[in-house]
Amino acid sequence: MSITRRKLLGTSAFAALAATFVGLPGISLAQSTSPVRALTLYSRAQAANPQQYQAAELIAQAWSDLGLDVTVSGLPQNQLSDIVWYNRDTWDVTMWQMVGRPERSDPDEFVMNLFHSSNAATGFNFVGYNNPAYDAIAEAQRLEMNRDARKVLVAQAQQKINEDQPYAFLVYPTKSYAYNTAVFDGTTLVDAPGLGIKNFMTFITVNPTGTQRDLLMNVSNELNAINPYYISGAGDSWMTELIWDRIMRIGADGLPQPWAAESVTWNTEGTVATIVIRDGMTFHDGKPVRVEDMIFSLESPKKEGTAPMYRPFVDPIQAMTKVDDRTFTLTLAKPNAAFETSTLAKLNIIPEHIWAPLLTALAAGESAESVVEDTRVGSGPFKFERWNQSEVVLAADKGHFSQPKVDRVIMRVVLNVEAALGMVRSGEINFLTDYTGDPELLLSTAKDAGNIEVMDVVDIGFQFLAFNNRRPPFNDPVFRRALSYAIDRRLITGAAWNGFGRPANSHVSPALPFWYDASTEALPQGADLAKKMLADAGYTIVSGRLNYPAGVTEALK
């Protein structure tokens, strides 16, 4: 074997030598094209996100068949975001994910934020995708108040992204939740599209049938904050949405409906909303919820540096005016189809009497995110009781207009996935809300136990591979398309995600059936196709390495 190889090497070296002397045309071609540089494909570390890492390895394998030299590099989350998010010119390709949130049940956030060129410098468009035609569609869908007309625009946006492939979408993961059927009446759970049974409405309506009247849920990460101006991770956002009420809430149908407001009425242009608040609401400290508190909640994040995370959502608001003790008007600069979902159903109603002094006392450079309250006062259906390293305890607010059926919600920090599973079986928890382990194990455990019901849901969020659209060769849509087509999504869904997911090719998930454009599913795939596309575009293979088309040289190292 080794002899043959040496012989082979000798032969090719000889050929090259001979060719240099003779000046064969083949060699001059090789000299005029330059090889694509070695690429690093970033991913979360294998231990932290085994699915993502395995997908990265499969992709690297597929791409090396095209003649690319790809190395997978697994990094901890904060190092990864340091590179990808804060040093946007320095990387080539990375695995990434967008998670599902209730307010993302309107397609606007993903359509606008992920790919509009105005977000390329510091915003969510971290891949630097820049297509004026796409920008126009994204802006138009936001202004379009007619749902059917808007649907056409959202579909166009999806097709544009499908053509340009700024991401290679991989999979919409299936999430699994489970609850104890001996504790809860299963018919009282709300199964919301894209969110599953773990959503705000379930916490209100779920009915305990026996003596256990506490809802005991789990979270698999340590909590860092419980703050109405800040979301530090998934776990704390589940708590804030129960403690602090909102003007509107996303209903079981995925659409916003008035909640703390009795009504939200728009003028015909869609620029002025008249909001009438419910009568008799109080904060957990007994003070009434006033129109002023609502205005304060929508206005305070507008001030530079107060609540950077929420600021983009209040930016469209031009003015707010109190009409009477129960009514105020809200004026937008231009119509915004997603406003109810992205702002009125997202921002917490914050008591002005508590937070106005806290905000005034902030030091320079400090934001509301860094405030740690001794207690937390909202007007939501659950009151904050306590929080320590082990758990967060909330108690039902008996005076709330939509009083929960359970007595308490307790969120337990369980870092060990298998232990969480054991806890559902033993009754230590009765609602498995955060399960990242093997889905088959969950199903078999549920089958053995007999009193555990597993509910799956396709996520609004998705897993994808991000190309840095700023850097050659990824600034070439043909190149991106070829690389994307070379990825076998079915293989990845099966091998990396154990089949618990759905192959993806759109930034609007099929979990939002009204907006999802199913035509994007017809994605051609295969290594041969990818090779042909690259060859047609002028890319060549020289001694096993993919080279740029003639005349293009590697500009980067």
Partner 1 sequence: MRYVLSRLFYSILVLWVVGTILFFMFRLMPGSPLTAFIDQTSTLEQQQALIARFGLDKSLFQQYLAFLGNLLQGDLGQSFFHRRPVMDVVLEALPNTIILTLSSLILAYVFGVLAGAYLAWRRGSVAEGIGIPIALATRAAPEFWLGMVLLAFFSFHLGWFPAGGANSVGLQYSSNWARVFSWDFLHHLILPMMTLAIYLQGLPLLLMRSNMLEVLQEEFVTMGKMKGLSSRTILLNHAARNAMLPVATAFALGVGNAIGGNVVVETVFSFPGLGRLLVNAVSASDYPLAQGAFLIITAVLITMNFIADISYRLLDPRIRIASSI
Site of interaction with partner 1 (CB under 8 A): 76-79, 81-82, 85-86, 122-123, 214, 216, 222, 224-225, 230, 304-305, 308-309, 311-312, 363-367, 369-372, 386, 388-391, 393, 408, 410, 412-416, 418-420, 422-423, 425-426, 428-429
Cβ closest to partner 1, residue 187 vs residue 426 = 426
Single-letter amino acid, residue 474: F
What's the length of the chain? 557
Cβ closest to partner 1, residue 79 vs residue 205 = 79
Residue 18: both structure tokens together:
């001979």
The CA-atom distances, in angstroms, between 164 and each of 10, 467, 526 are 44, 11, 18
Cβ closest to partner 1, residue 233 vs residue 526 = 233
483 burial type by CB count under 10 A (0-12 exposed, 13-18 middle, 19+ buried): buried
Nearest to 278 by CA among 255, 250, 245, 307: 245
Cβ closest to partner 1, residue 252 vs residue 371 = 371
Task: Find where tokens 């109405």 sit.
Answer: 228
Give least dist CB 327 to partner 1, A. Answer: 32
Helical (H) or strand (E) element with 547: strand 545-547
Give least dist CB 496 to partner 1, A. Answer: 23
Cβ closest to partner 1, residue 161 vs residue 393 = 393
Give least dist CB 226 to partner 1, A. Answer: 12
Give least dist CB 413 to partner 1, A. Answer: 6
Give least dist CB 114 to partner 1, A. Answer: 13
Interhelix angle 477-485/147-164, nearest 10 degrees: 90
Residue 246: both structure tokens together:
């909102």
Nearest to 355 by CA among 259, 227, 249, 223: 227
Q: What is the b/e burial string over 489-519, where b = at least 16 CB atoms within 10 angstroms of the residue's CB? A: beebbeebbeebbbbbbbbbbbbbebbbbee
DSSP label at 37?
P
Residue 421: both structure tokens together:
């599973």
Is 80 strand, coil or helix?
A: helix
Ramachandran category for residue 67: left, alpha or beta (phi over 0 → left; psi -120 to 50 → alpha) = left
Give least dist CB 414 to partner 1, A. Answer: 5
Cβ closest to partner 1, residue 393 vs residue 530 = 393
Give least dist CB 104 to partner 1, A. Answer: 15
Cβ closest to partner 1, residue 311 vs residue 545 = 311
Cβ closest to partner 1, residue 369 vs residue 456 = 369
Give least dist CB 122 to partner 1, A. Answer: 8
